[in-house]
Structure 1
Amino acid sequence: MREEEYLRKQREIEAKRIAEKRKLEKEVEKVAPKKPKVEKVVLTYDNITENILVTRLRARGQPIKLFGESFEQRLERLKEVESKEERHVQVTFANFMQAKEKDLTDEILLGKTMEENIDKDADVDTSPISVDLLKDDREKALYLIPIYLKRMLRIWAQVLQERPDEVKRSTEGKLAAVLQSQTADHLKPFFKDLKKGRLPEDVIEKVADIIYHLQIREYMRANDAYMLLSIGNAAWPIGVDSVGIPVLTVGIHERKEQEKLNTSKIAHAFNDEVQRKWIQGIKRIMTFTQNQWPPKDVSKLMG
């Protein structure tokens, strides 16, 4: 009883102290000029509630409660999951930047190398690249396509090289350099397969069509060709059943006909990861080209 009485008095004293503090704060607010008050609530594991614990576990794909698991055990499980998640993000970003980031000295050397390569290919005219050239003179088209793409990569690197030092050293500047370097790496398998004749004919045609429209600054049409290359234009054969629910209508006897779909309808970006990456690399070159040489008519810009 004495302990309960003591705790009661302490609560009363604490309540009076808080009331006096609030009263003093109100008096100060009346005298002091009004300023926007921003309160920052820092949520720690000490003051986490049941609802927040459940929300954070669900967001990470974890069960909200295991059999016989107490609140403290669930909290420890959340700590472990979030700690692994944070370490994974930090390590992934650090490895990515360390693998691709170059200091200013390397950038200068890279810039000189790019200038030499640009001078080497300066006399090569890539304007004839088109689907018609591919049909009329396939060997010449296969010779010009990699020259154009590599030229764009070098010009892109040169543009990054000419940036001010403070821009190069910034996080955005480093990420821009990483993006260019990553794109060059992703396109290497494309150049290799193109040289060895391992690419399907429809793929080469769409790449040639993209390059043709890029050179005449018809970026919207280049994007249309890119969409055909990446996701194709095949429509799913969908019908309706007896109760009005849409269903696939490909039967046993229709599979052979479906296998005869025109190759222009194939979604090549879904073939494998390597092909998806170089297709994405072509898209990045398209974006750089549009930013570097914008069209006079804004309706020709791709989204």
Structure 2
Amino acid sequence: MGEPVTVFGETGEGRAARLVAAVAAHEHDDFQIGGGHEIKNQFLRQGSEGSIRTTDSNNHGDKDDDDDDKDDEKDDGPVSDYTYVRRFFKTLLKQWEEDLNARPEQVKGSIQGRRDTRTQKQSKDYLRPMFKLCKQHALNPGILANLVKMVNFMKEGEFVKAHDVYMLTAIGNAPWPIGLTMVGIHERSGREKIESRNVAHIMNNEAQRKYLVSIKRLMTWLQEKRTDVPPSKKVM
């Protein structure tokens, strides 16, 4: 919180009062209900005008999500892989949010409860670029193919297999030689033969890293909710 534990000459009552004030300020900045993650909430410190702009931006994002849901409901034709992936993870996000909202107020206000709320809001923000790419049919084909596999395994309760596909997407299995690399045209030609499905997509850019990490969070949340799945099929 950026506060000293004890100020010189401070009494126990004064320290307790300062702690309560610091916690209240910290909650206002980082855990606004209905806001984004902490990156957005930092603008709350810039005054009421900044707060209004941030709230409007978040409401606009929620409106876009609602519009996407309506578009999905209207689409009665064959479902593409892009729509299949987007619908599944948007549904999980909504169920996760409903699960958090159903908690008792005491749990919501605890440290772990506030952390869970922030994680869900952050994951929702991180996944928006992926949802947009899916809607535009512009998502990387290699990532899309692996996401379809992950969704199928998660629906079947095969979370170990889904995690393996996630690790393959995030880390890859490209054969990197030991020692000096890329020192000449002969070595370069060998690298060009590496297929895109073996390359770790999570390292390509920050947006991909964020939405893949958010997918991992959804996978972890879902396997905790699936009491019908035996522990042998869950990632422990």
TM (norm. structure 2) is: 0.67
2: CA distance between counterparts of 1:141 and 1:269? 20
Task: Between the two structures, name the one with larger relative contact order (CA 8 Å, sep ≥ 6).
Answer: 2
Say which SS state the counterpart of residue 80 (structure 2) adopts: helix
2: CA distance between counterparts of 1:155 and 1:230? 25
- Within a 5 Å distance, the mapping from 1:211-230 to structure 2 comes to 211-230=151-170
* Aligned pairs, number: 178
User: For residue 33 of structure 2, what is the aligned residue in structure 1?
Assistant: 102
2: CA distance between counterparts of 1:201 and 1:255? 24
Say which SS state the counterpart of residue 261 (structure 1) adopts: coil
Is 1:165 paired with 2:105? yes
CA shift, 1:297, in A, is: 2.5
CA shift, 1:171, in A, is: 1.7
Contact 2:82 2:137 in 1 (8 A): no
Instruction: Show structure 1 runs of 4+ deviating over 4 A.
Output: none
2: CA distance between counterparts of 1:99 and 1:174? 9
The match for 1:269 among 177, 202, 217 is: 202
Say which SS state the counterpart of residue 211 (structure 1) adopts: helix
2: CA distance between counterparts of 1:160 and 1:273? 27
Amino acid at match of 1:283: K
The match for 2:212 among 279, 293, 298 is: 279
User: For residue 223 of structure 2, what is the aligned residue in structure 1?
Assistant: 290
The superposition leaves residues 193-221 of structure 1 with CA deviations (integer Å, 9 ceiling, x where unpaired) of: 12223222111001111111000000000
2: CA distance between counterparts of 1:142 and 1:197? 6
Amino acid at match of 1:267: A
Is 1:142 paired with 2:82? yes
1: CA distance between counterparts of 2:157 and 2:229? 9
2: CA distance between counterparts of 1:192 and 1:180? 19
2: CA distance between counterparts of 1:263 and 1:249? 19
Contact 2:129 2:207 in 1 (8 A): yes
CA shift, 1:142, in A, is: 1.6
2: CA distance between counterparts of 1:294 and 1:201? 33
- Within a 5 Å distance, the mapping from 1:1-303 to structure 2 comes to 94=26, 98-102=29-33, 140-238=80-178, 247-248=179-180, 251-252=183-184, 253-303=186-236
CA shift, 1:295, in A, is: 4.8
CA shift, 1:170, in A, is: 1.3
CA shift, 1:173, in A, is: 0.9
* Distance change >3 Å, CA 97–CA 235, structure 1 → 2: farther
CA shift, 1:175, in A, is: 1.2
2: CA distance between counterparts of 1:225 and 1:294? 22
2: CA distance between counterparts of 1:152 and 1:296? 17
| Percent identical residues | 32
Rg bigger for which structure?
Answer: 1
Q: Which runs of 5+ in 1 are unaligned?
A: 1-41, 43-89, 104-109, 125-136, 239-246
CA shift, 1:251, in A, is: 4.6
The superposition leaves residues 117-175 of structure 1 with CA deviations (integer Å, 9 ceiling, x where unpaired) of: 7xx78x97xxxxxxxxxxxx7x5222221111010001001111111111111121111
Contact 1:217 1:290 in 2 (8 A): yes
1: CA distance between counterparts of 2:95 and 2:191? 44
User: For residue 12 of structure 2, what is the aligned residue in structure 1?
Assistant: none
Q: Which runs of 5+ in 2 are unaligned?
A: 6-21, 35-58
Contact 1:97 1:178 in 2 (8 A): no
* Distance change >3 Å, CA 202–CA 294, structure 1 → 2: farther
